[in-house]
Amino acid sequence: MVDKSGVDSSHHADDFFLPNLCTVQAVFILILIAELFAVILTLATSGVRFFNWENLALTSLFVQWVVLVSAAVLCQLRPLMQRLPLIMAAAAGYCLILVITLLLSVAAQWVMGDWKANGFDWSPLLTHLIISAIVSGMAMRYFYVRYLLRRQEQAELQYRIQALQSRIRPHFLFNSMNIIASLIEVDPETAETVVVDLSELFRASLHDVGNQVSLKEELGLCERYVRIESLRLGDRLKVDWQIGEIPDAVKIPMLTLQPLLENAIYHGIQPLPEGGLIEVVVKYDAPMLRIKITNPRVPAGAEQHTKGNRMALDNIRSRLDALYGAEAFVASEIDGELYVTTLSYPFEQENLATVA
């Protein structure tokens, strides 16, 4: 189902406008915001000069109860709300907060005992409802806008990932087909190997967006790619694989290393008549997986194609950031006569146990 804003209103467990309010971090933020709000209300009524600490205590107690009870109820009902259309889910959450505010306001007057002497006072009840309606509306609006921005970012990221996964350059395909044609008569076994390697590479490029595979599987794809390029470049292309001891369960987004190797060959080996050496270093220092690819740097003034290189790095950075958060790192630098690309991201031990 699609709402009027064009957003799909059917929700996945991790794709809902209302955040998970059961986490420790969320509860801490809610308590902090509620306390700040209580201070603001107290300052608004008594001012700084005649600041009423007793009033702050009572206001803080009431606000904290409203916020925490609302968060607990919304947290428990979140799975049910996810089944509703987006607008209905937002309206249901909004109404729940108002009902909770109403009930707690009545309970507060009953506990304080004011209604026994003066009768039930509707004025503070109405004040609480108006404040709750305004603040809750602002919060729901914030969650909704944040949800739309997140959906937009995810759509853009998926588009960029798809572009990266299908970005095996046309000239590589043409060169591979020429290699196969030239080998069919003189070396049919090698030609058959090239066909198998090429089919595996293109099968990977058509795989689901964002799919993660074992690091060994990704390295296998890279070796297939290097084998095909070696038939074209011959002795000009040398690759030194330095692979440390890595648990079988360590995963990596598919086609992360192959574009980096493609860049290293396209920008560092192909322009040089004498070719050069590419070093691929892979280490796992729990919980970080670290990968470094080094290739020769083309001398200044020679023709270079840096746009494709930068696009691949930006896409890989986006993919790792989306999957592994702020600890993911992708960078490139010039080190003397070498061009060095490094990437790292955390893969926790509990993930290894889960995958194994």
Q: What is the pLDDT of residues 256-269, one digit of tens each?
A: 888 889 889 988 89
Q: What are phi and psi of 328, to 5 degrees?
A: -70, 140
Residues 209 and 320 in one domain: yes
Residues 57 and 119 in one domain: yes
pLDDT band at 278; cut points 50, 70, 90: very high
pLDDT band at 119; cut points 50, 70, 90: low
Which 8-state DSSP code applies to residue 326? G
In-domain check, residue 251: yes
Residues 67 and 148 in one domain: yes
Residues 145 and 203 in one domain: no
Residues 238 and 140 in one domain: no
The C-alpha atoms of residue 272 and residue 339 are separated, in whole angstroms, by 14
pLDDT of res. 161: 60
CB atoms within 10 A of CB 192: 13
- pLDDT of 3 higher than 50: no
Residues 96 and 236 in one domain: no
- 340 in the Ramachandran plot: left (φ > 0), alpha (ψ -120 to 50) or beta? beta
The residue-averaged pLDDT of 162-168 equals 54
The C-alpha atoms of residue 234 and residue 220 are separated, in whole angstroms, by 20
CB atoms within 10 A of CB 76: 11
Range with the largest mean pLDDT of 18-32, 150-164, 198-212, 315-329? 18-32
pLDDT of res. 353: 43
Lowest pLDDT segment from 5-19, 93-107, 140-154, 245-259:
5-19
In-domain check, residue 18: no
The C-alpha atoms of residue 225 and residue 227 are separated, in whole angstroms, by 5
User: Final residue of a domain: which of 112, 135, 159?
Assistant: 159
User: Final residue of a domain: which of 116, 139, 159?
Assistant: 159
Which residues lie below 8 Å from residue 297, measured CB to CB, with a gap of 6+? 268, 334, 336, 337, 338, 339
Range of the domain at 142: 24-159
Tokens 């608004």, residue located = 44
pLDDT band at 113; cut points 50, 70, 90: low
User: Final residue of a domain: which of 132, 159, 186?
Assistant: 159
Give the chain's length: 356
Residues 219 and 302 in one domain: yes
In-domain check, residue 10: no
Q: What is the pTM of this model?
A: 0.54
In tens, the pLDDT along 143-164 reads 888 888 877 777 666 666 655 5
* Number of domain units in the chain: 2
